[in-house]
Amino acid sequence: MKFGPTPLALAEGALLAHATTLADRTLKKGHRLTGDDILALGRAGLEEVVTARLEAGDVGEDEAALRLAEAFRGDGLTVDNAFTGRANLRAAAAGLAVVDVERVHAINAVDEAVTIATVAPWRMVPARAVAAVVKIIPFALEETVLDAVAALARAPEPPVRIAPFSARRFGLIQTVLGGRKESLFEKTLAVTRKRVEPLGCTLDRSERVVHDEGAVADCLESFRKDGIDVALILGASAIVDRRDVAPSALIRAGGTIVRLGMPVDPGHLTLVGRLGEMHVLGLPGSARSPRTHGFDRVLQRIVAGVEVSSADIASLGAGGLLKETASRPVPHDSRGAETGENGVAGIVLAAGRSRRMGKVNKLLAEIEGVPMVVRAVDAVLASGADPVLVVTGYEEEKIRAVLAARPVRFVHNPNYAAGMSGSLRAALEAVPDEVAGALICLGDMPHVTAEHTARLVEAFEDGDEPAICVATHDGKRGNPSLWHRDFFAEMRAIKGDAGARDLIGKHPESVVEVEMADPGVLRDVDTPEALAEAREASPR
């Protein structure tokens, strides 16, 4: 590939290396220059531009990205159309990312022009969320390099796949010693159900028995005969030895212990075992909290059909310190255990009148055949946010109609003309008490993708609390943003059309900037010109 400054007289047909703004147009990076473009560049006083021109044996960036994405595509993945040398691999169904880390390292070491990035190994990936990205750095790739990388990716199998979740029947055993409140048992049952149902599973049996080896063994045998796939034991006291009640009960019932204890906190005192085909997990009291727990890492693998060995559990130590930082005033102070906070809700603001668009309701305008508000809602749904609330106002019935097939809840703001703050307030009033935060997305940002929303949720879950996670690109703050519920009261007090932006400046210590690879988080659509640009960009 030839690359460098090119006189205008020789630039026609070449690819423009850098975006250039002229009086009547903007020529984007990668644009193939036409004769008309050359004349316009000349009128602007330019004598040369930096271009790239493919030579024999070169493969264009989009074709190269697509071919490599197909080579990388393991089971459970689909490939998006390539754009600007980037091809996304998405999960066809919810599951766990199985990543051959050494192969990924080897592929990225072949040539700096080729990159593959994946989510962390064993991360839970929602359906249609991005699990891996292929990006070609230059405008073209030598075919010999492409072939070498593709061969490495295919043999013996692609380095990334999705192990899909499959429906499993769960049973819960809670042991009783006396003195425990009824509310504790009911809360544990509710938390456990919320833990397994997002994985497509059901909690079919729930039993309370005395804290006794024989009673627990009998219950385990009953579960096994009933066809329960996974039995969870939450004892009245923690398991501290293989001769303790839960492990002894498992052995008495005819089962085996895979491992007692794991290098994950919370979750150190977790028992993993088998009784025939039934998996058995003995859990510490910390599992009564909805917060991320060590046993989730075992649970998700079981539901994805991935066998878990003692060596697998022993390997969890690096990264096994969950949500613990020195900045916390009281280590192990779990707000979630006290308040029941769990997960995030999604909010899509779709009530505005689109005044600057003239007669067009921008939220219903189609981009690649999909209404803009549907694109925004799909991005929030893909993040795993639950519930997803859509605030309606102007042309409410039309907004509801295009979203009829989506699993969302509608919140109507009759005073939508007064500004965005009213819509935000209406949505926050509808957010369930148990959620930890709210992901707020504007309905007029069609370039916001599932990858953007998933990264915000991941940053929120992995960071300190309370946090305000804000999407950024090249250091500029945009949207969406994800707010801890501690800020809800201040957000409800906002007036006018500024949204929650002013609050970010008031709490700099809580802001977590989440850098995104593309500028979609900075682009909203307010004018016919912006709509035309959005349609031309084809961000997905």
- 330: number of Cβ within 10 Å: 6
Q: What is the pLDDT, as a whole number, of residue 464?
A: 47
- pLDDT averaged over 10-residue windows placed end to end, the chain, 540 residues: 92 91 85 92 92 92 96 95 92 96 95 96 92 95 95 92 97 83 83 92 96 96 98 89 96 97 91 97 86 90 96 93 45 35 83 73 86 91 89 92 92 86 90 88 89 85 71 90 90 75 78 86 81 66
Gap between the Cα atoms of 192 and 174, Å rounded: 11
Closest to 390 measured CA to CA, from 427, 341, 431, 432? 427
CB atoms within 10 A of CB 289: 21
Helix (H, G, I), strand (E, B) or coil at 301: helix
d(CA 166, CA 301): 11
- Those residues whose C-beta lies under 8 Å from the C-beta of residue 318, and which sit 6 or more positions away, are none
Query: How far, in Å, are 481, 517, 520, 522 from residue 474 at the CA level?
Result: 16, 8, 11, 10
Q: Give the phi and the psi of residue 188 in degrees, each rounded to 5.
A: -60, -40
Residue 26: what pLDDT? 84
- Residue 410 shares a structural domain with residue 461: yes
pTM of the model: 0.59
Integer CA distances (angstroms), 408 to 217, 368, 504, in order: 43, 22, 27
Same domain, 365 and 476: yes
Total domains in the fold of the chain:
4
Separation between Cα atoms, residue 497 and residue 513, nearest integer Å: 23
Whether residue 211 lies inside any domain: the answer is yes
Do residues 145 and 183 share a domain?
no
Instruction: Tell me the C-alpha distance between 290 and 532, whole Å.
Output: 45
Q: Which residues pair with 162 in a beta bridge?
A: 97
State the residue range of the domain holding 26.
2-53
Task: Say if residue 310 is in the same domain as residue 381.
Answer: no
Please check whether residue 398 is in contact with residue 361, taking contact to mean a CB–CB distance below 8 angstroms: yes
- 48 and 75: one domain? no
CA distance 337 to 198: 20
Tell me the CATH number at 71.
3.90.1170.30
Point out the domain boundary residue: 107, 134, 164.
Answer: 164
| Cβ neighbour number for residue 217 with a 10 Å cutoff | 22
Q: What is the DSSP letter of 477?
A: E
- 146 and 43 within one domain: no
Quote the CA–CA distance of 466 and 483 in Å, as a whole number: 8
* Among candidate residues 86, 146, 79, the one with its CA nearest the CA of residue 111: 146
Q: Which amino acid is at 414?
A: P
Q: Classify each residue of 255-287 as buried b or exposed e, where b means 16 or more C-beta atoms within 10 Å of its C-beta.
A: bebbbbbbbbbbbebbbbbebeebbbbbbbbbb
Of 268, 269, 263, residue with least CA distance to 237: 269
The answer as to whether 330 is a domain residue is: no
Residues 65 and 29 in one domain: no
Q: How far is CA 429 from CA 48, 412, 467, 499, in A?
A: 58, 12, 20, 15
| Same domain, residue pair 217 and 158 | no
Indicate the residue among 105, 136, 164 that finishes a domain: 164
Q: Does residue 512 sit within a domain? A: yes
Going by C-alpha positions, the residue among 493, 384, 498 that lies closest to residue 439 is 384
Site of tokens 């919810």: 94
* pLDDT of 50: 94
CB-facing half-sphere around the CA of 114: CA atoms within 13 A = 30
Sheet containing 15-16, strands listed edge to edge, beginning at the edge strand earlier in sequence: 2-7, 48-53, 15-16
Q: Which residues pair with 321 in a beta bridge?
A: 265
Residue 336 in any domain: the answer is: no
Confirm if 444 and 362 have CB atoms less than 8 A apart.
Answer: yes
Do 500 and 421 contact (CB within 8 A), yes or no? no
Q: Give all strands (DSSP E) within 342-428, no chain letters.
A: 344-350, 366-367, 370-371, 388-392, 409-412
Contact by Cβ (8 Å): 340, 434: yes
Task: Assess whether 364 and 473 both reside in one domain.
Answer: yes
Amino acid 142: pLDDT: 95
Last residue of a domain, one of 38, 53, 68: 53
